[in-house]
Amino acid sequence: MLMRTTLAGLMLLAASAMAQPAGPGRGPGPFGGARFLGAEAGMPGRVVKNAPYSADVVTETTQTLPDGNRIHQVTTVKMYRDSEGRTRSEQSLKNLNGLAPNASLPEVVFINDPVAGANYALNPSARTANKSAWMRPAMAMGRGAGRGARRGGGDNPNVKTESLGSQVVEGVQADGTRTTMTIPAGRIGNEQPIQMVTETWYSADLKTVVLSKRSDPRMGETVTRLSNVSRAEPPATLFQVPADYKVSEAPRQGRGGAKQ
Ranges within 98-157 binding another protein (CB under 8 A):
98-100, 103, 105, 108, 110, 112, 121, 134, 136-137, 139-141, 143-147, 149-151
Of 167 and 253, nearer to another protein (C-beta) is 253
Site string for another protein, 162-201 (x = CB under 8 A): -------------------x-x----x-------x-----
- Local structure of 210: helix, strand or coil: strand
H or E segment to which residue 16 belongs: helix 2-18
41 near another protein (CB under 8 A): yes
Which residues, numbered 21-40, are part of the site for another protein (CB under 8 A)? Answer: 21-23, 28-29, 31-40
Q: Give the torsion through C-alpha atoms of 54, 167, 213, 104, to 10 deg.
A: 20
| Residue 70 in the binding site for another protein (CB under 8 A) | no
Q: Which is nearer to another protein, 243 or 245 (CB)?
A: 245
Q: Which residues, 217 to 236, sit near another protein by CB under 8 A?
A: 218-220, 222, 224
**Residue 87 binds another protein, judged by CB under 8 A:** yes
DSSP letter for 258, please.
Answer: S
**Binding residue (CB under 8 A) for another protein from 6, 64, 104, 167:** 6
> How many residues would you count in the chain?
260
Structural contact between residues 220 and 63, judged by C-beta atoms closer than 8 angstroms? yes
Rounded to whole angstroms, what are the CA distances from 189 to 50, 65, 184, 194?
A: 47, 20, 10, 11
Q: How many binding residues for another protein (CB under 8 A)?
A: 87
Residue type, 54: S
CB of 141 to another protein, least distance (A): 7
Instruction: Taking the CA atoms of 94, 97, 103 and 109 in sequence, report the sign of the dihedral they define.
Output: negative
d(CA 51, CA 80): 11
First to last CA, the chain: 64
> Minimal distance in Å, beta carbon 30 to another protein?
9
Q: Is 62 in the site for another protein (CB under 8 A)?
A: no
Shorter beta-carbon distance to another protein: residue 165 or 196: 196
